[in-house]
Amino acid sequence: MFRGFTVGILKRPTLRLRASWLGALCVAALAVVHSSAPVSAETIASALSKAYVGNPQLKADQARQRATDEQVPQAKSGWRPTVTTNTEVGKNYQDSPLSGKSDFLSRSFNITLSQPVFDGFRSENALREAEATVLAGNQNLLAVEQEVLLNGATAYMNVIRDREIVNYRRKSVENFDEQLRAARARLEVGEVTRTDVSQARARASEARSDLAVAIGNLQTSVANYIRVIGDKPRHLKFPPLSPRVPKTLRAAIDISGETNPQILAAAFNEEAAAANIGVRKSDLLPKLNFEALYQVSKNTTSTSGTTETGVIQGTLSVPIYQSGSVYSRIREAKHTASQRKLEVLDAHRQVREQVVSAWHLLKAATATIAAANDAVAANQVALDGVRQEAQVGTRTTLDVLDAQNELVNAQVALANARRDRIVAGYQLVAAIGHMTAGDLRLSVNLYDPRRNLEEVRDKAFGARINTSE
């Protein structure tokens, strides 16, 4: 498609080609994205599969979620014992009037085990908070996945649209150049005036400018495609409307309330905030710990040799007053919980707005396509008629130029509407929460965040991590 543009222009150079147009041709040559070898068409599904597998934004968020998973074993550690050991070695010197001078070596070793028995329900609430936070993080991960795939679909359609527009603009340049040549030929035989020639030359220059802009837009779309998808766009196949698009607006709204990750993440964050209140309140409750101590000490001046000590005890700690800081943290947690509750309501409203907006954009684009198709057909008929009438002298050169311009504008409008319809469909699918790799049935190995959580949930030893997921 784009290769044909370059070859076509080189085969048929325009009259009085300006340096600026030569520069535009260089830009066009750099914007060629097809390889010299023939390639098969790439579907939007295959492009989105590439984005899912290799997009660094999505990979980074998966790593973030694995870090969030560690909050669960950290919360569960509140039930586990702690074991510490200390070893002391020292040289002591004393000078006393009664005992005189002494110089001796002291050594000691101890090991302590501490087992929480009751921590004011802190660990139970911390685990509830951590698990809710992980679930919220999973939904945020799905939201990022949807964003990446939606950006991929948009980038895919932008390249298709911009390639079509470049073709229309190229054809427009050829048509205006042909009209300019015809006007000059008719000027020589006295059929038109110099004004007609000037008008044709002006429209030809405008067409070249429009083509240069279209080429620039295509280059931008290609660069964005490479960033999101991770590969150059080759021969892209125009896709149908996503089958995940709901049949009615009411159905779309209802589905979004159940599956949109933004709403679900807000709900889990509310649950985590409620659990955090219990964590803060635990500082007002008694704590009971079981401790066991074993110590070995030796002094070179001691006549008893080595001393061994063993202690087993229970420690009950009852908070009475802690300068008001605990009560402040409880109030803070309650305010945060209230905030999270309101954020759930706000998320519902935002998602509803997204659904309604995408739905109406889809309907508007569909209607625009029908109107644009009619406009293209009508303008083509009008152009053919005006050309015939101009040959017999009933229409002016300006009439032909206007008809040509209206045709290319209608073609560009059609290309934009075709792109907008597909993108709006995917925007609607994302708004209801079905723009994931699983929902789209992409041919990829789906990332399952639950697997990492199950691996670390009860992990009490080891600092190695899995970075290959």
* Residues 284-331 pLDDT 10s: 999 999 999 998 887 766 555 688 888 999 999 999 998 899 999 999
Helix 122-188 to helix 261-281 angle, to the nearest 10 degrees? 150
Q: Is residue 328 in some structural domain? A: yes
Q: Is residue 325 in some structural domain? A: yes
**pTM for the predicted model, two decimal places:** 0.83
Q: Is residue 441 in some structural domain? A: yes
CATH of residue 424: 1.20.1600.10
Alpha-carbon span 238 to 224, nearest angstrom: 18
Query: Residue 34: is its pLDDT beyond 90?
Result: no
pLDDT of residue 149: 97
Query: Residue 92: is its pLDDT beyond 90?
Result: no
pLDDT of residue 22: 38
pLDDT-derived band of residue 392, with 50, 70 and 90 as boundaries?
confident
Dihedral angle, C-alpha 324, 325, 328, 333, nearest 10 °: -140
Q: pLDDT (tens digit, 9 = 90+) per residue, 227-254?
A: 999 999 999 999 999 999 999 999 999 9
Span of 60-74, 125-139, 192-206 with lowest mean pLDDT: 192-206
Q: Is residue 465 in some structural domain? A: no
Span 206-215, mean pLDDT?
A: 93
Q: Residues 6 or more apart from 134 whose CB is under 8 A from it?
A: 65, 68, 69, 71, 72, 453
Alpha-carbon span 9 to 19, nearest angstrom: 15
Q: What angle do CA 304, 309, 313 make, to 5 degrees?
A: 155
Q: Is residue 461 in some structural domain? A: no
pLDDT of residue 469: 59
378 three-state secondary structure = helix
Count of structural domains, the chain: 1
Domain that holds residue 233: 2-456
Span of 29-33, 143-147, 162-166, 386-390 with lowest mean pLDDT: 29-33
Retrieve residue 244's tokens: 């995940």
Q: Is residue 467 in some structural domain? A: no
- For a pLDDT cut of 70, what percent of the chain falls above it? 88
pLDDT of residue 192: 72
Retrieve residue 466's tokens: 């899995």
Average pLDDT, the chain: 87
Give the range with max mean pLDDT: 3-7, 296-300, 421-425.
Answer: 421-425
